[in-house]
Amino acid sequence: MSGAGNNSRRKLPIGIQTFREIREEGHYYVDKTPHIELLIESGKHYFLSRPRRFGKSLLLDTIKELFEGSEALFRELHIHGRWDWEKRNPVLRLSFGSGDFSSRERLELATLARVDDMERRHKVTPRHDTPAERLRHLIGKLHQSAGERVVVLVDEYDKPILDALAKPEVARANRDFLSGLYAVIKDCDAHIRFTLLTGVSKFSKVNLFSGLNNLEDITLDPRFATVCGYTEDDLETVFAPETEGLDRERVRDWYNGYNWRGDERVYNPFDILLLFRRREFRAWWFETGTPTFLVDTLLRRGIKSFALDGMVADDKLLSSFDVGEIAPEALLFQTGYLTIEETFSHEERDFYRLGYPNREVRQSLNEALLTRLAGDAAGAASQIKLLSALLDNDLAAVEAEFRTIFAAIPADWHRRNDIAHFEGYYASVFYSCLAALGFSLTVEDASAAGRADLALRCGGRVYLFEFKLAERASEGAALQQLIERNYAEKYRAPGEPIHLIGIEFSEESRNITTFETTEA
């Protein structure tokens, strides 16, 4: 039933989060029960953060069916012969995936409705008024009546906070309410068999999980790096009938690349399933959610677009997410717009170099940033001209198009976008224009002689860019630096033609003053 090693086509489980429906109605299913078995055997209380549409809800539903003893659904899966099907645990599943969380009062009413549903399902009469006390009573009563400890699964635990981030006072009130609710899980430890909370963001333990400090965070545990998402092997086995006729290298370039310290990188399931159905390479995942808050935060913090790829963070920084105290690195990583490219250690501390997971995210996020950085100045017509010029190696046309773009940007636009200085703003526009075209760019690519500001491979050629502010450098200084420091040396091995491009912007004219090129 899992589809592994089976060449027959099955239904694509697009948008289906119910394990029973997937198994009973003949959909493809990637077996995650090895991970689930390891979770259950290794501990008791867990927390997992993954971006939206990565299969968190399906994971929880699978665990629910397992503890409820739905043996028929697990036939042919890893865990089937390794589980005691005679033993069943009562399961409480609390989801905040939808609802009105615009105030603490509405959140409390929504939570009461969910607890009320669970009480009715398990035929437990409530004895208290508040959601926390009713949940506490429900857990204890279920343990008593069933004779087995309770499994507690919380889906989208953080959504009531994330939905209110634009109104910090509401977000804090919602956070404090949830902190009290989740503290019940720790207080009821004697009655609980297993707990898993999932969400997009990992909020600071100090403010949200102070009452639930016994949670084991498996977000960056290499053992569970592929607990959500599809691996390369999954595409080759489970989805083998769907990959026929697709350029696998292109599939990897577009959609693979997410990493949580594992040996394997994974695909976003939503992307892959839509690709299989539509047979088109599009930003399927990105288009389902507009990252308005993310873009606003980056620009408000003065983060340059070319600085995103290559950010460095540590464990503490990646989990330092709270209302009004959101580190850009944590926001980008937890929401799935950046992933771990490299892990390195220093003095017993782990550090992570972050990067775009794939073409979809790199291209789409920079399109969103470009809209805010340049408005209509870099629209579709401009992008087509720029793409054609680069593919034709027509650097004069590239220069002309960028001059046109910069000339069309309103005079004070860069000040309204909060990037600290003029050079950074215009270099961000330049970078996002190229990244929005789908090109893979390298920022400050290091060599023995130093770092070129930007490296681009396109059409079998290498382009190295250096940016300067005209008012702070002598004319021609950008190109001269590329030549004198011999930045091209590290690119000679493949034998591709190398072009050096020195660009100087003027704060006075608000445009390019110098665009010099030479072959290295």
Sheet holding 150-155, edge to edge: 91-95, 150-155, 192-199, 45-49, 216-217
Phi/psi of residue 199, nearest 5 degrees: -175, -175
Domain limit, last residue, from 163, 196, 220 = 220
CATH of the domain at 445: 3.40.1350
Query: 503: which 2 tokens?
Result: 């660009």
Closest CA to 97 of 49, 160, 151: 160
pLDDT at 245 exceeding the cut of 70: yes
Interstrand relation of 312-314 and 349-355 (parallel, antiparallel or unpaired):
antiparallel
Domain contains 6: no
Q: What are the b/e assignments for 435-473, b being 16+ CB within 10 Å?
A: bbbbbbbbbebebeeeebbbbbebeeebbbbbbbbbeeb
Which contacts (CB < 8 Å, 24+ apart) does range 506-512 have?
506/469, 506/470, 506/471, 507/422, 507/469, 507/470, 507/471, 508/471, 510/406, 510/407, 510/409, 510/411, 511/403, 511/406, 511/407, 512/399, 512/402, 512/403, 512/406
CATH code of the domain covering residue 194: 3.40.50
Q: Which two tokens stand for residue 251?
A: 């599939």
Q: Can you tell me the distance from the alpha carbon of 170 to that of 392, in angstroms, rounded to the nearest whole number?
A: 53
DSSP code at position 487 = G
| Residue 2 confidence (pLDDT) above 80 | no
| pLDDT value of position 215 | 87
Please name which of 372, 312, 367, 322 lies closest in space to residue 345, comparing C-alpha atoms.
Answer: 312
Residue 261 lies in a domain: no
Q: Domain tally for the chain? A: 2
Are 192 and 44 in contact, with CB atoms under 8 Å apart?
Answer: yes
Tell me the two tokens of residue 395. Answer: 């650097």
| Gap between the Cα atoms of 63 and 69, Å rounded | 10
Nearest to 371 by CA among 291, 310, 440: 291
Tokens matching residue 167? 């109104």
Residue 416: per-residue pLDDT:
59
Instruction: Give the lowest-confidence range in 253-262, 319-328, 358-367.
Output: 319-328
Report, as an integer, the average pLDDT of 431-456. Answer: 81
Strands lying side by side in the sheet with 441-447: 441-447, 450-458, 461-469, 498-506, 511-519
Is residue 228's pLDDT more than 50?
yes
Q: Classify residue 339: in a domain, yes or no.
A: no
Query: Domain range spanning residue 380?
Result: 373-519
Instruction: Give the pLDDT score at 421.
Output: 62
* Domain end position, chosen among 220, 255, 278: 220
Instruction: Decide which of 220, 254, 270 is a domain's last residue.
Output: 220
Tell me: the pLDDT tens digits for 6-15? 568 999 999 9
Model confidence pLDDT, tens digit, residues 26-35: 999 999 999 9
